[in-house]
Structure 1
Amino acid sequence: MSDTIKLVSPVDGSIYMERPALNEAAVDKAVSAARTAQASWANVPLDERVAYCMKALDALKSMNDEIVPEIAWQMGRPIRFGGEYGGVDERTRHMTGIAADALATIERTDKPGFKRYLKHVPLGIVMVIAPWNYPFMTAINTIMPALMAGNMVILKHAAQTLLVGERLAKAFEMAGLPKDVFQNIVLTHSGTEKLLGSGLIDHVNFTGSVNGGKAIEKALAGTFATLGLELGGKDPAYVRADADLDYTIGNLVDGAFFNSGQCCCGIERIYVHESQYDRFVDGFVDITNQYKLGNPLDEATTLGPMAQTRFASWVREQTQEAIRKGAKANIDTSKFDADKDGTPYLAPQVLTNVDHQMSVMREESFGPVVGIMKVKDDAEALQLMNDSPYGLTASLWTEDVKTAEEIADQIETGMVFMNRCDYVDPGLVWTGVKDTGKGAAMSEIGFHNLTRPKAYHFKLEH
């Protein structure tokens, strides 16, 4: 008898759906079918593989009106934001647009009498272990370029967003993708570990927690599969003395609280030059107080529940610890009627008088809380931004491009923004350092991480 995966909706605590997990025999069958299909798929011309992906993109668009409320029920994002199709469209179109150049054969013509070139060869079976917070976009980051590059894709989606995997499978079916090239499977944690340790998977892309990444690495040990990890983050923002304050405040409030703070590159800590500090905090608090916390199926709701009660409990614990250590809570959460302890409904909170002895400034929150610190200069801000075990993104808010570039060179992250935040640019590599992980997605580098180089050295004269 197989295990059952149950999806508990954060909207009302009900079981929104449940699916049986595949047993070992069914997993072996799925992987074997993918391996059989791989050779023929790799021989399909690139433009045809790209065309299948574009057809699947169109199929997703046709389902968007159904997908948007499904996302709300599954992980709590308000329907007013319209789902993730815009991001999926942008990323897919960019990757299809650069596929031919990124995957092109590289000719070496500097030695007469020889034919020498490099090819980007598919890795084989790529397994995508996708998270719930941006369930379509995070999965698409790997799925589309992996298929374009000639790989098979096996998707294991988070239990919190099981329907997303089914929607993606339906989209590829509607696109006419050959059988077994893309497969959506439902697995338990132990079933996932067994598959990873089997040696049958060639590459794994995982987005999730640091502990999850460690478990993936342990399960893969000795298989020599390649691995991409996008793990935790504690993304900082630095507001310099010359920042356009009105513009900066609005963008950073959104960067901190969109998706209830459950964004991989969401703003979790802010450092403000002392000359701007008081005005910044006042403006930030004012906008934060305008959020409406409630049922994500209500068009008026701007802040939905967190995906699970335990996630909200962690943020509440971090906030209370900071207050016990002297932090000031600037938001009266009693004004948010839906905020209830023991539920995933959590009001936003803005903390001041914080320091790096507090968990909320050092450990990932992944929820609607942000700490704001006053700094005296660039050097202090840089030291604090780098005082973290994580390194995904950082944002600088200034009108001085040259200084921003100088500071950016010293920030220990995979990406640095100026005057924007919380965005994945498909034309630039998406990567992190330190405990945020390794590997890369998007851009031509994303294609290169989903292929292996193969060298051809032919001597024509002998």
Structure 2
Amino acid sequence: MITYDKLYVGGQWVAPATGGVLEVRSPHDLSLVGTAPHAAPADVDAAVAAARRAFDEGPWPRMSPQERSTVVERFSKLHAARAEEFAALVTSENGSPLWFTRWTHQSGVPEQTDAYLRAAAALDWDEQVGAVNGSSTLLRREPVGVVAAVIPWNAPHQSALAKLVPALLAGCTVILKASPETALDALALAEVFDESGLPEGVVSILPAGRETSEYLVAHPGVDKIAFTGSTAVGRRIASIAGEQLKRVSLELGGKSASIILEDADLTAVVAGLKALSLGNNAENCVAHTRILAPRSRYEEVVGALKTMMEELSVGDPADPQTFIGPMVRADQQQRVRSYIELGIAEGARMVTGGPETPEGLEGGYYVRPTLFADVDSDMRIAREEIFGPVLVVIPFDDEDDAVRIANDSEYGLGGGVWTADRDHGVEVARRIRTGWMTVNGAAPTYDGAFGGYKSSGIGREFGAAGLAQYIEYKTIAV
């Protein structure tokens, strides 16, 4: 069992302000994984005060961009050295399958950080932009200030570093508020920051629940909020930020559509959708959970997806052969089950799966991977984010109909097009109002931008676009 009895505040391990304790239990069998302090508002006050001093008076914002990059590079190497340990720890906390957490920590996180480092190296932080009548103009890029980063439990290190790394490269100071479900890996991340050589006050890491989160977001000492989570919470954060005119970036929910055109290779489609739709137990904001199929191949698509989903290995997430693990909590398990029951009540055809717990897995928060056919895009199972392994197959008449259905959503985070004609796939992708599209399952580099249209958020992460979220622009005329 892992036990932490201190919080990481301003680069120091300190006793928490209260005696609140978070118990982290495995969603696989409910065993106790470990305990950590529950950060309270008083801990937030201490963290913000340390961050404020470090930003207003300390060396970090005044270092050269290259000096800051050197520290971030050191952190990245230290983090990579513990990738296997972090993968196993996150799996034990939130039920993400080991294949996914290994990929995240061994490949995804290092590549994400490297892209931010490339963006920082390429940026002209002090740029001469012109001269008029003997005067010159300097465009200066400066850090936005003290950042409150609030992250979810489904990919905690990836979400944390998508915010911490660009904020640090820009010269900001950061308070990371981690979810109670993944409190242990958050404080393990603090150990790596502690080794990396950051000045005092630059980073604090506080695991806590919603009340402490809201206190941090509304704190007058915070200049910017960076949030990943549900759209409902994002709206609340946006309202607080609006009242105080704080900078804000929000990476929120999704209900992504994958359009299968008539000429698509169905074998490749199903292989790609296995990860795009069901990766990380489908507890994934960008999961392709609306599958749009042409009427001419509808039953063929449904049958192929049924076969794939029935062959998925569901069970202990620590087993490398497991593809689908448990839901993170009992309420999330019940939420997914309730949507399956809703789909049946709405008149959709349940092709495979169901609301019952998989046999032999009654001791954890498991659900059956479930596929619905004969789904209308007005049904709630086709419109609302379920955040679990439930896919719906919606028929379309022609390409324009497919685009209309894909865009008929309050969300706009991700999506895909599957076709034998790659150029035509790009043409269709251009018509979908989402922030991230894949043609034939291609994986984007982290030098691109990730984020959403509509209710899927505000702002972008990754690469130069993500770095820009932590920068203020100052014009100096001389």
TM class by shorter chain equals over 0.9
- Equivalent residue letter for 2:469: N
Provide Cα deviations, 1:144-178, integer angstroms capped at 9, x if missing partner: 11101111111001111112221221111122222
Task: Check 1:331–1:202 CA distance in 2 against 1; reply closer, same or farther (3 A cut).
Answer: same
- Equivalent residue letter for 1:383: R
Tell me whether 7-16 or 143-152 shows the greater mean CA deviation: 7-16
Q: 2: distance between equivalents of 1:247 and 1:212?
A: 36
- Residue 475 of structure 2 corresponds to residue 455 of structure 1: yes
**Aligned 8 A contact 1:323 1:329 in 2:** yes
1:354 partner SS: coil
- Residue 8 of structure 2 corresponds to residue 14 of structure 1: no
Show the 5 A alignment for 1:226-245.
226-245=247-266
2:313 paired residue number:
292
Aligned match of 1:337 in 359, 365, 368?
Answer: 359
2:177 paired residue number:
156
2:3 paired residue number:
none
Tell me whether 96-105 or 170-179 shows the greater mean CA deviation: 96-105
**Aligned 8 A contact 1:67 1:83 in 2:** no
- Residue 392 of structure 2 corresponds to residue 393 of structure 1: no
**Aligned 8 A contact 1:285 1:331 in 2:** yes
2:449 paired residue number:
429
Q: Once the 2 structures are TM-superposed, how far is the Cα of residue 363 of structure 1 from its aligned partner?
A: 0.3
**Aligned 8 A contact 2:258 2:292 in 1:** yes
Aligned match of 1:446 in 459, 463, 466?
Answer: 466
Q: Once the 2 structures are TM-superposed, how far is the Cα of residue 53 of structure 1 from its aligned partner?
A: 1.1
2:386 partner SS: coil
1:257 paired residue number:
278
- Residue 290 of structure 2 corresponds to residue 269 of structure 1: yes
**Aligned 8 A contact 1:339 1:347 in 2:** no
Task: Check 1:251–1:2 CA distance in 2 against 1; reply closer, same or farther (3 A cut).
Answer: same
Aligned match of 2:426 in 385, 401, 405?
Answer: 405
Provide Cα deviations, 1:45-78, integer angstroms capped at 9, x if missing partner: 2112111111111111222232122111111012
Q: 1: distance between equivalents of 2:361 and 2:287?
A: 21
Q: 2: distance between equivalents of 1:356 and 1:315?
A: 19
Q: 2: distance between equivalents of 1:143 and 1:273?
A: 43
Aligned match of 1:72 in 91, 110, 118?
Answer: 91
- Residue 249 of structure 2 corresponds to residue 202 of structure 1: no
Aligned match of 2:381 in 360, 382, 385?
Answer: 360
1:59 paired residue number:
78
- Equivalent residue letter for 2:159: T
Task: Check 1:177–1:351 CA distance in 2 against 1; reply closer, same or farther (3 A cut).
Answer: same
Q: Once the 2 structures are TM-superposed, how far is the Cα of residue 214 of structure 1 from its aligned partner?
A: 2.1
**Aligned 8 A contact 1:60 1:167 in 2:** no
Provide Cα deviations, 1:115-148, integer angstroms capped at 9, x if missing partner: 2110111011111101111111111111111101
Task: Check 1:108–1:293 CA distance in 2 against 1; reply closer, same or farther (3 A cut).
Answer: same
Q: 1: distance between equivalents of 2:175 and 2:252?
A: 20
Q: 1: distance between equivalents of 2:198 and 2:327?
A: 35
1:31 paired residue number:
48
Q: 2: distance between equivalents of 1:159 and 1:355?
A: 37
Q: 1: distance between equivalents of 2:426 and 2:131?
A: 37
**Aligned 8 A contact 1:102 1:448 in 2:** no
- Residue 401 of structure 2 corresponds to residue 380 of structure 1: yes
1:49 paired residue number:
68
Task: Check 1:393–1:91 CA distance in 2 against 1; reply closer, same or farther (3 A cut).
Answer: same
**Aligned 8 A contact 1:321 1:358 in 2:** no
- TM-score, normalised by the number of residues in structure 1: 0.93
2:14 paired residue number:
none
Task: Check 1:262–1:24 CA distance in 2 against 1; reply closer, same or farther (3 A cut).
Answer: closer
Structure 1 spans left out of the alignment, 5+ residues: none
Question: Size of the alignment, in residue pairs?
Answer: 456
1:428 partner SS: coil
Q: 2: distance between equivalents of 1:24 and 1:346?
A: 36
Q: CA RMSD in A?
A: 2.0
Task: Check 1:8–1:221 CA distance in 2 against 1; reply closer, same or farther (3 A cut).
Answer: farther
Q: Once the 2 structures are TM-superposed, how far is the Cα of residue 83 of structure 1 from its aligned partner?
A: 5.0
Q: 2: distance between equivalents of 1:320 and 1:115?
A: 66
**Aligned 8 A contact 1:128 1:155 in 2:** yes
Tell me whether 206-215 or 402-411 shows the greater mean CA deviation: 402-411
Q: 2: distance between equivalents of 1:416 and 1:26?
A: 40
Q: Once the 2 structures are TM-superposed, how far is the Cα of residue 254 of structure 1 from its aligned partner?
A: 2.1
**Aligned 8 A contact 2:353 2:368 in 1:** no
Aligned match of 1:108 in 125, 129, 135?
Answer: 129
Q: 2: distance between equivalents of 1:33 and 1:319?
A: 47
**Aligned 8 A contact 1:129 1:157 in 2:** yes
Show the 5 A alignment for 1:156-195.
156-195=177-216
Provide Cα deviations, 1:333-355, integer angstroms capped at 9, x if missing partner: 68943454x95111211111111
